[in-house]
Structure 1
């Protein structure tokens, strides 16, 4: 097929920069425009310094949305809804939204977790990219929900890097606060709980239990580790087989019973889940890069599915081991 013309709205933030890094290595796309109202006229590498020497693209304030085949909406939460209300997007243009605005599948959007909705995403007009914590936690639970095995409350303890808070400065985002520090935030009330529950009920209609989620701010820049446990009657071997069977056809998610660590996935679109049986519980440790599988990489994965490309195109990213 011909190249897919890409337009990016909100290209100056973390997800926009990560999207640019990935798409610059994608063999089937060309850039229509990279929009940033605050950085118009600057080279993208002046903001995303890791792209120096890789591109001469400049930020624009482009509003001719018909130049693109697909729009990636990378602005802050609430801004995608505002943008679509204020701008007319031609019917031929596909949309991948990276905000929270349409994850409830409103306004014609489908929820873009390929391990859950791959066939619905194919050829879809509008896709709502999942949240980063939500991606990690759901990938720890989907195989159990698929078999109707979530019969008790689910307990989650998860830590994320500082890039999960976005590029804008905040009291808890400064290096001097984050370094050598850790804290809990939004315990039991995190906004991603809504989409997690939505997905679990789509697989297991009778799921009525609580997902008790304790999020942590970590003192590192990128990555998520979620430790998820719930009651499970089967053996360790049965649990691992259940997960490996569910993810066998999915190229980015892997289930193993060996010890894992964040460096195995940072800078990649992978999710690795370690499956253990501990007494009467199953313990699933799920790791992703919050900016790649948790945001921009998964957005590219969704774009590939929308346009009938091989799902892994442009996403053969290697982690940094040391």
Structure 2
């Protein structure tokens, strides 16, 4: 049994993390920190947890917990750690962008288990990857590592929860419902961490990444394509070999759809060779495999638990 604290537990990711940890047999949540919900019952904010916990939000931390999850906004994790001190043995998983870039004078390991599992198991500090970055990295990394690719085109659609719980015009139901739009074309913040991972490969192709907002609550659907004249069977064998020890990254022989992954920690991949194009589809739940679920997966690896503990979730198919 390990003790954990959550910093910033009132948003979508914090709520999903609390839900997962309450069901985890090896975890005791000692505190959920918030500056805006102090003294409020957690079940009042995360109403799906009614009857499951008597925890309340607090503005006090417990310094000697085994692990702290940082679920604060981007740019705020560093600031929080500068103002608050934990014990020398406390491990940290940060879910913001603050420590994802390597070589920036920190000890955080990039927490993509399918690539960095051995490092994660030995580390005390993990930078949880971004949701788009997770879906795109898992879709493309084996191909970029082992095949000679040129330009790669990426179209990726995210649900409304990808923008967080804050109030914003483009998060309102009347704007989002029955609507579709692109944003941050070729300038999305996750592209830096995607290219950072790909820089480990001999040849890094040009990425053409266009993110989109979809009219659904949760999930990410990514379509990648590139010129390819090789053998599809070889590519499929390459992917199955690369992910043979990855319990949540699964190649599907048929075209997958979002209902297969929503409310799960899975990433589904579908690989096709159409005309002269290699087409790789990738999809995951942005709040789970793209955030809280992957954070719990990293926690399991850091503390020697079975990697899938607390994450054998049933998707909401109907």
Pick the TM interval, shorter chain: over 0.9
Say whether residues 1:282 and 2:278 are aligned partners.
yes
- Structure 1: stretches of 5+ with no match in the other structure: none
Question: Runs of 4+ in structure 1 displaced over 2 angstroms?
Answer: none
Say whether residues 1:93 and 2:90 are aligned partners.
yes
1:9 to 7, 10, 29: 7
Encode CA deviations 1:96-134: one digit per residue, 9 max, x unaligned: 000000001331100000011000000311000000000
Q: How does 1:152-171 map to 2 (within 5 A)?
A: 152-171=150-169
d(CA) in 2 for partners of 1:135, 1:112: 10
TM-score (norm 1): 0.96
User: SS state of the match for residue 137, structure 1?
Assistant: helix
**What residue number does 2:246 align with?**
250
d(CA) in 1 for partners of 2:178, 2:21: 34
d(CA) in 1 for partners of 2:236, 2:252: 7
Deviation at 1:150, TM superposition (A): 4.2
User: SS state of the match for residue 121, structure 1?
Assistant: helix
d(CA) in 2 for partners of 1:271, 1:157: 16
Deviation at 1:206, TM superposition (A): 3.0
**Residue pair 2:31, 2:62 contacting (<8 A) in 1 also:** no
User: SS state of the match for residue 251, structure 2?
Assistant: strand
**What residue number does 1:117 align with?**
116
**What residue number does 1:60 align with?**
58
Say whether residues 1:320 and 2:310 are aligned partners.
no
Encode CA deviations 1:48-105: one digit per residue, 9 max, x unaligned: 0000011111111123322x10000001000101101111222200000000000013
1:174 to 151, 172, 175: 172
**What residue number does 1:306 align with?**
302
**Residue pair 1:239, 1:277 contacting (<8 A) in 2 also:** no
1:212 to 188, 208, 229: 208
d(CA) in 2 for partners of 1:316, 1:28: 15
Question: Mean Cα displacement is larger for which, 99-108 or 282-291?
Answer: 99-108
Encode CA deviations 1:6-65: one digit per residue, 9 max, x unaligned: 100000011100001111111100011111111111110100000001111111112332
Deviation at 1:312, TM superposition (A): 0.5
Backbone CA RMSD of aligned residues: 1.0
TM-score (norm 2): 0.97
**What residue number does 2:193 align with?**
195
d(CA) in 2 for partners of 1:82, 1:119: 29
d(CA) in 2 for partners of 1:81, 1:232: 42
d(CA) in 2 for partners of 1:111, 1:273: 21
d(CA) in 1 for partners of 2:125, 2:96: 13
- Structure 2: stretches of 5+ with no match in the other structure: none
Encode CA deviations 1:262-287: one digit per residue, 9 max, x unaligned: 00000000000000001222100001
Say whether residues 1:37 and 2:40 are aligned partners.
no
d(CA) in 1 for partners of 2:317, 2:206: 37
**What residue number does 2:73 align with?**
76
d(CA) in 2 for partners of 1:37, 1:275: 45
Encode CA deviations 1:229-270: one digit per residue, 9 max, x unaligned: 112232222222111111111100011231110000000000
Encode CA deviations 1:163-214: one digit per residue, 9 max, x unaligned: 0000001011100100010000000000000000011112x1332x321001
d(CA) in 2 for partners of 1:82, 1:163: 25
